[in-house]
Amino acid sequence: AQSVSQHNHHVILSEAASLELGCNYSYGGTVNLFWYVQYPGQHLQLLLKYFSGDPLVKGIKGFEAEFIKSKFSFNLRKPSVQWSDTAEYFCAVNASSTNAGKSTFGDGTTLTVKP
């Protein structure tokens, strides 16, 4: 069975600080990886995804994530956060060999950016 671990439950940063949120998964086969974001009072939405190709993927609002297969990781980064990045961030993994629709989500990381 696949599982996802997000190490940071709550991160507090000042504006302009750099961000890195950890995500590790456990599954030995081919995976598709996602980061979703949930802004306060809004629905969960896709931030970025990795299916294949360049392991460094870029998403919306200046976010990027790097897939490191040897470390089973897909960490989310942003060089300079803004107050509007305050949200909850979820990493998700979808094992290609199983039901393609079934994603396993991490516990989520709450990011608070102080103005």
**Binding stretches for another protein (CB under 8 A):** 4, 32, 34, 36, 42-46, 49, 51, 90, 94, 96, 99-108
Q: Which residues contact 55 (CB under 8 A, 6 or more apart)?
A: 66, 67, 68, 69
User: Quick one: 50 or 78, whose CB is closer to another protein?
Assistant: 50
User: Quick one: 42 or 70, whose CB is closer to another protein?
Assistant: 42
Parallel/antiparallel/unpaired status of strands 10-14 and 109-114: parallel
User: Quick one: 16 or 46, whose CB is closer to another protein?
Assistant: 46
Measured CA to CA, the distance from residue 43 to residue 98 in angstroms comes to 27
Minimum distance of another protein from residue 48's CB (angstroms): 9
